[in-house]
Amino acid sequence: MTTAIALLRAVNVGGRTLKMADLVRLALDLGLERPRTLLQSGNLVFETDEAPDGDLERRLEAEAAVRFGFEVDFLVRSAAAWRDVIANSPFPEAARDDPSHLVVMPLRTTPAEGAIEVLRASIAGREDAALSGRELYLVYPDAIGRSKLTIQLIERRLATRGTARNWNTAIRLAAMAA
């Protein structure tokens, strides 16, 4: 069995309401074991015999669309891969000193060569960004809510979709999956 983490994109915002108990029920019905959630923003930890890859993501997305009546992206990472996400942060000072302003954004696909430079050229404030495979790390020293570096801008510049979690949540997910 592999422990995995599924991060849902854009749930419980903009009228796309999803109760975490319903997410747990979906996971159980799909044969995933020991599903548990963190917060109300679509963080699911579970055990599975399946590879934590695109096939599992598509299966979760298809069932969620049927059950909940809207499409939602699932980004799945193994617990081991998530530990690497934490260990390989290119912003260790922000992780240590200001974790509420550090964000990790798992991406659906690896951005094209040069995409991070395109994104960095779009940054108007003091934010910083670094890419490692399918994970984007973002530092928002002046707060996320006021930043012009939005998820929509990031997705356009990188030509892929993703979902962001602040560093504190990322750490809590790693602990849940341990």
Model confidence pLDDT, tens digit, residues 30-89: 999 999 998 877 899 999 999 888 999 999 999 999 999 889 999 999 999 999 999 999
What pLDDT, on the 0 to 100 scale, is given for residue 17?
83
The CATH number for 2-81, chosen from 3.40.50.1000, 3.40.50.300, 3.40.50.2300, 3.30.70.1280, is 3.30.70.1280
pLDDT-derived band at 10, boundaries 50, 70, 90: confident
In whole angstroms, what is the distance from residue 118 CA to residue 27 CA? Answer: 37
**Is 106 a residue whose pLDDT tops 80?**
yes
Give the residue from 117, 152, 158, 151 showing the smallest Cα distance to 134: 158
**Is 12 a residue whose pLDDT tops 70?**
no
Torsion of CA 148, 151, 153, 154, to 10 degrees: 110
**pLDDT 10s digits, 108-151:** 999 999 999 999 999 999 999 999 999 999 999 999 988 999 99
Over the chain, what HEC string results? CEEEEEEECCCCCCCCCCCHHHHHHHHHHCCCEEEEECCCCCEEEEEECCCCCHHHHHHHHHHHHHHHCCCCCEEEEEHHHHHHHHHCCCCHHHHHHCHHHEEEEEECCCCCCCHHHHHHHCCCCCCEEEEECCEEEEECCCCCCCCCCCHHHHHHHHCCCECCEEHHHHHHHHHHHC
pLDDT-derived band at 98, boundaries 50, 70, 90: very high
The third-level CATH classification (topology) of the domain covering 82-177 is Alpha-Beta Plaits (3.30.70)
Which position has the token pair 């509420």? 100
**Is 13 a residue whose pLDDT tops 70?**
no
- State in Å, rounded, how far the first CA of the chain is from the last one: 13
Residues pairing with 5 in the sheet = 45, 77
Q: CATH 3.30.70.1280 in the chain, residues? A: 2-81
Between the alpha carbon of residue 141 and those of residues 29, 100, 104, the distances in Å are 42, 9, 14
